[in-house]
Amino acid sequence: MTVNAWLKARAVELGAALCTAAILIGGLAIGVPFLLDRIPEVFLYSFCCVSAVLLRAAIDLAVRASALALHGIRPAPAPAAVHLEPSNA
């Protein structure tokens, strides 16, 4: 996945989470009755929606960086072959 494709995918996810949070908080602002009965839950859900997307992006970046770092590590070259001669003892 290219960087631009990854950024577009995360932007779509973040936009959806922000839209959900805005709809919930907007519903509180206009006085939707079933949301007014659950004010703490609405704010908690809005916060969790956005932070879950940000946390997923951070974890995804960490995994990709680890994989890239591990892929970049090359094993040490094998030592030259040692020839043993039989002793005349």
HEC sequence for 6-52: HHHHHHHHHHHHHHHHHHHHHHHHHCCHHHHCCHHHHHHHHHHHHHH
pLDDT at 78 over 90: no
* Residue 10 to residue 57: CA distance in whole angstroms: 7
Give the pLDDT band (50/70/90) at residue 72. Answer: confident
pLDDT tens per residue across span 31-42:
989 888 888 999
> Residue 8: what pLDDT?
92
